[in-house]
Chain A
Amino acid sequence: DAGVIQSPRHEVTEMGQEVTLRCKPISGHNSLFWYRQTMMRGLELLIYFNNNVPIDDSGMPEDRFSAKMPNASFSTLKIQPSEPRDSAVYFCASSSMGLAGGTRTDTQYFGPGTRLTVL
């Protein structure tokens, strides 16, 4: 089975440019998460969707960041304009918020990440 797919794997861009990161969750999963990982701040949850609807975007750093999930199999994270401090690894994860024996089975499975460098 295919895991979470992210593209591109590496992105190098110049300050001020627009960056779009893409994610395809595991088929059948109904929750999708965007994380950012840096040495200074570790793993941070930026936003998550449930059934394509954004539930919590309190982790989005500022208005330069936006995320969409137009359908169950695709999400984008956009940074416009990008800044050097946005350099990080961005992970997408998905999970199934189904019920198994009355307990949510919500293990998050991560994609390989996109390493973003903003010069």
Chain B
Amino acid sequence: AQKVTQAQTEISVVEKEDVTLDCVYETRDTTYYLFWYKQPPSGELVFLIRRNSFDEQNEISGRYSWNFQKSTSSFNFTITASQVVDSAVYFCALRSYSSASKIIFGSGTRLSIRP
């Protein structure tokens, strides 16, 4: 079975604080891919990052960073020095190699950045 769990339903922080969004996944496949998407208030889904299971290097892109740990089946997302424009719903997603093109989405974390 494949599953993505985003236990944090909503997070609210003050601008400039760092914030980490948790993502825990389940899959029996050894080859799989993890994604993060952002859904701002305007409603579109914006792709942020894709990681495959063989690459455990952490990734940093500006204020965004991702921590992939196979040992704990987690793919957490950290925003450093948060800004109001970061307010959105963030989805973690999983595609296992055996599931063809199906992507399983987590339920999302609603992040609110207060000025």
Contacts and interface: CB of A to CB of B under 8 A. Distances in A.
Contacts, number: 45
Given A42-B107, A42-B108, A43-B91, A107 B47 contact: yes
A31 B46 CA distance: 18
B105 interface: yes
Interface stretch (A15-23, A77-85, A109-117): A109-117
A48 interface: yes
A68 B27 CA distance: 31
Interface residues of A, number: 24
Q: Shortest 8 CB-CB distances between A and B: which pairs?
A: A110-B45, A43-B105, A112-B44, A107-B50, A42-B107, A31-B101, A113-B43, A48-B101
Interface of B: 33, 35, 37, 43-47, 50, 52, 91, 95, 100-103, 105, 107-108
Interface of A: 31, 33, 42-43, 45, 48, 50, 55-56, 89, 91, 93, 95, 97, 103, 106-113, 115
